[in-house]
Amino acid sequence: MANSKAANIHNKATKIKKTPEDIIINTIVYLICAIVFILTVYPFYYCVVISFNEGNDASLGGIFWWPRKPTLENYEQVFKNKQLMPAFGVTIARTLIGTVTSVLFTGIIAYALAHKDLVFRNFYFTILIIAMYVGGGVIPTFLLYKNIGLYDTFWVYVIPSLFGVWNCILMMNFFREIPASLEESARIDGANDVTIFFRIIIPVSMPILATIALFNGVGHWNDWYATAFYTKSRNLQTAASQLKEIIAQSNLTAITSANPAASLDNVQRQVEGATQNYTAETIRMATMVVTVFPITVVYPFLQKYFVKGIMIGSIKEIGRASCRERV
């Protein structure tokens, strides 16, 4: 009891009192953060609200915070799309395979370039910098993929994204900060370059690997460009490209409905719409939520890998000491 009272008295005594200026600055910072948070989150929240509302009622407007007439019919219609689930399968496979192979391939190259004694290191690095700023363009890239057999195959999603110059530079800078004594101790123990890379470098480099994996994963998940230009088969459609098609169809439907020449079709739609509670807008919102939700859920779970990587990186000196003890 005496110790706890003494600790409380000490904490009160050492507590820094905030001046009026500090309170004003903190209030301003909190307000700015709140405004940025609302501006960032509310558009997605609005999509969720509209996606759970009846389409005919949502077209009247005035919905901002919660569904006025809740329904799941929009999502029922989305999952009736026969192309959506196969597209999700392609997207998941592309994201997993593309992310793992890209991180591994880029990491190997970055590990080699991080060594100053690499032969022609400056020449390789110059080529990478030029490639980062100069691109071939859509048509030459299309012809290249077609000539080497990548066009209209699943591997057009994976192989071109195996290596990223910017990711390589980030990894190189991180690898240079790793104490050289770790590699020296491992070499004394008889380890070769492959063993050192997979058993020493990768475990202590989890923060940068997790960051690069996150960048690559989000890029693969959201990409529709490769599907639009380098594939033609329906079984290679991704979720992002499917979303793009649904949005385009929704816009076309809105334009057609506003065309007086299509009055007969409009009457037929109105007759059919009398028994349905969804519109092109609500279907589009539901599709956006279905497409974005999986990658959004993954973000919090990746946080533990950042923390784990930081913890592993913080014990580099302990690992170095243990290597010396084995020697």
Percent of the residues in the chain that have a pLDDT greater than 90, as a whole number: 5
Write the DSSP assignment of 64-111 as a string of letters.
-SS-SSB-SHHHHHHHT-TTHHHHHHHHHHHHHHHHHHHHHHHHHHHH
CB atoms within 10 A of CB 10: 10
End-to-end C-alpha distance for the chain, whole angstroms: 50
**Of 32-36, 185-189, 206-210, highest mean pLDDT:** 32-36
Binning the chain into helix, strand and coil, the percentages to the nearest 5 are 75, 0, 20
CA distance 31 to 115: 47
Find out whether 51 and 75 touch, Cβ atoms under 8 Å. Answer: yes
Percent of the residues in the chain that have a pLDDT greater than 70, as a whole number: 77
**77-326 maps to which CATH number?**
1.10.3720.10
Burial class (CB in 10 A: 0-12, 13-18, 19+), 115: middle
CA distance 103 to 11: 47
Q: Where are the domains positioned within the chain?
A: 2-73, 77-326
Q: What are 175's two structure tokens?
A: 């690898």
pLDDT exceeds cutoff 90 at 73: no
What radius of gyration do the chain's Cα atoms show? 27
CB atoms within 10 A of CB 60: 9
Least confident of 88-92, 105-109, 185-189: 185-189
How does residue 229 score in pLDDT terms, banded at 50, 70 and 90? confident
pLDDT at 100: 92
Residue-wise pLDDT for 239-273, tens only, equals: 888 777 776 766 666 566 555 554 445 445 444 44
Write the DSSP assignment of 197-241 as a string of letters.
IIIIIHHHTHHHHHHHHHHHHHHHHH--HHHHHH---GGG--HHH
How does residue 135 score in pLDDT terms, banded at 50, 70 and 90? confident
Find out whether 320 and 182 touch, Cβ atoms under 8 Å. Answer: yes
Least confident of 6-20, 76-90, 158-172, 307-321: 307-321
Q: What is the mean pLDDT of the chain?
A: 76
pLDDT exceeds cutoff 90 at 84: no
Residue 265 vs residue 59, higher pLDDT = 59
- Name, in order, each residue with C-beta under 8 angstroms of 46's C-beta and a sequence gap of 6 or more: 64
pLDDT exceeds cutoff 90 at 289: no
CA distance 16 to 219: 45
- Rounded mean pLDDT, 118-127: 84
Find out whether 106 and 162 touch, Cβ atoms under 8 Å. Answer: yes
pLDDT at 3: 52
Report angle CA 238, 101, 301 to the nearest 5 degrees: 70
Residue 71 vs residue 316, higher pLDDT = 71
How does residue 97 score in pLDDT terms, banded at 50, 70 and 90? very high
How does residue 276 score in pLDDT terms, banded at 50, 70 and 90? low
Relative orientation angle of helices 280-314 and 239-257, to the nearest 10 degrees: 150
pLDDT exceeds cutoff 50 at 76: yes
